[in-house]
Amino acid sequence: LFRSADMTKILAFIERVRISELVRHGVLVFVSLTGANVLNYAFYAVIGRMVGVENYGAFSSVIAAVIICMTPAIIGQTVVAKLAADFRAVADGDGLRGFADAVTSFSVALGAALGLCGIVLARPLAAFLQISDASIIAIAALSLAAGIVIWLQRGVFQGAGAFGSFGISNLLESFGKVA
């Protein structure tokens, strides 16, 4: 069936895969994203039971609005990851650190401004959307604010090759929803 030369090639290939940084990082991201997806499923199951059928529609609408408003941050993650990867590729640790600090400052300032606007405008937005509880809008605004910071920071993690931090970030976000 197999000649010893074939078996040697197969074993050499398996060893290269085993010590590959790419495979190790890929498995880490795969496991963390799978865990995050399981936690997200639990979040929606718990919310569905807590709010009931009628209020779940309003909840889903607000979540959809947050996701739509989050689109620029999701696109920004890709841009930030590319720029961070450029710093990593030329081994410019100081440049990467400065870039990460700038992304953090920008995302926190933007998130805080949007979160504050959402809190201030919670009552008028709730009235316009015919949602009886304005705190739902305030919570959604804070969720949007946190999401902006999280998504842009994940871009830094991804571009810097900090896949452990990237995976932990995904798991903590999903765990936070369930908790």
- Of 90, 81, 61, 99, give the one whose Cα is nearest residue 151: 81
Residue 7 has pLDDT above 70, yes or no: yes
Position 159 scores a pLDDT of 94
Q: Which residue has the higher pLDDT, 92 or 40?
A: 92
Q: How confident is the model at residue 142 (pLDDT cuts 50, 70, 90)?
A: very high
Task: Write out pLDDT tens, residues 71-101.
Answer: 999 999 999 999 999 999 999 999 999 999 9
pLDDT average, residue stretch 14-30? 80
> Rounded distance, CA 163 to CA 179, Å?
24
Q: CA geometry: angle at 114 spanning 112 and 117, to 5°?
A: 105
Q: Would you say 99 and 79 are in contact if contact means Cβ atoms under 8 Å apart?
A: no
Task: Write out pLDDT tens, residues 97-106.
Answer: 999 999 999 9
